[in-house]
Amino acid sequence: MRQLIILLSLVLVGCSSDPIEPPAFDGQRAYGYLEQQVALGPRVPGTEASKACRDLFYQHFESCNLQVDSQAFTFFDPYSSIDSPLVNVIAHYRGGGDDEPALLLLAHYDSRPRTDFHTDTTLIHLPIDGANDGASGVAVLMELANMFKSHPPDCNVDLLLVDGEDWGKPGDIDYYLLGSREFARGNIRDKYCFGVVIDLIGDSDQQIFREEYTERFYKPINDMLWQTAAMLGVNTFRESTRYTMQDDHISIGAAGVPTALLIDFDYKYWHTEFDTPDKCSAESLANVGKVLAYVIYNSSIWPKN
């Protein structure tokens, strides 16, 4: 207990309440959600697989007693010269006061519409399964929703599943992060205490380093996450920085919400035809899920803006 108190006091924000032990995160069930998404086919924006995946989300989150909203928008695709339909899904959990800012947890559910690093040249224009790159983060959020239903935390949380994160061709930065950019156009600054984006976190050989933008601009969030991981014995969170990423945390941070990125970019199957469920593990999903669950159920450790 003494070690726990010392660890928490480093991020903390003057907490005097006793730590709350969240319910166990079911990594195996989360892995099942990953498999369900991939079984629908590549979730490329505008496809039937993408729609079927949203239907899965609506059913799941509503069954967990969350209020579910959608944000539909179009994007003029410069590659096909047509308007492409995209849809963000937002599941709201309210365990705190109506006027209290929420925690924002975000993952993208779309999969890559092309196979950039193919081993077979005929695959270059075909989409990937996106088991880790897309489905893994969503699977963690789906399991967190189960926890909210069975053991309601006393804070507000929005689970945001964005579309079109992985649309652009290499180097075309303006054509990535489409869903988070659209969401950030709303007046979100005062709605959220902070956010956490999870992406590529299902790799069975998990190593999550501190992302450079987050470390530079939102270090208190990183410190909270990494110290929580250490306290829980999650040793796949590495203490050094390694990558500077263009990901959804950039869009949300630019809109005034301090946002961290959890990502394992040491994934050799990234943007290949081999990004399939067998490269992911329930344990890796649970590692991230346990850390996020502790943060959710212990809002007293949240950094103050």
Q: Is the pLDDT of residue 159 over 60?
A: yes
What pLDDT does 17 receive?
Answer: 67
Residue 305 pLDDT grade (very low, low, confident, very high; cuts 50, 70, 90) = low
Average pLDDT of the residues in 120-144: 96
Average pLDDT of the residues in 290-304: 96
Average pLDDT across the chain, whole number: 93
pLDDT digits (tens, 9 = 90+) for 171-189: 999 999 999 999 999 999 9
What pLDDT does 6 receive?
Answer: 35
Residue 224 pLDDT grade (very low, low, confident, very high; cuts 50, 70, 90) = very high
Residues whose CB falls within 8 Å of the CB of residue 233, separated by 6 or more in sequence, listed in order? none
Write down the H helix ranges in the chain: 2-11, 27-39, 48-63, 136-150, 178-184, 212-217, 219-232, 248-254, 282-297
Q: Is the pLDDT of residue 3 over 50?
A: no
Residue 285, SS3? Answer: helix
Give CATH superfamily name and number for 2-301: Zn peptidases (3.40.630.10)
Residue 85 pairs in a beta bridge with 74
Residue 153 pLDDT grade (very low, low, confident, very high; cuts 50, 70, 90) = very high
pLDDT digits (tens, 9 = 90+) for 64-110: 999 999 999 999 999 999 999 999 999 999 999 888 999 999 999 99
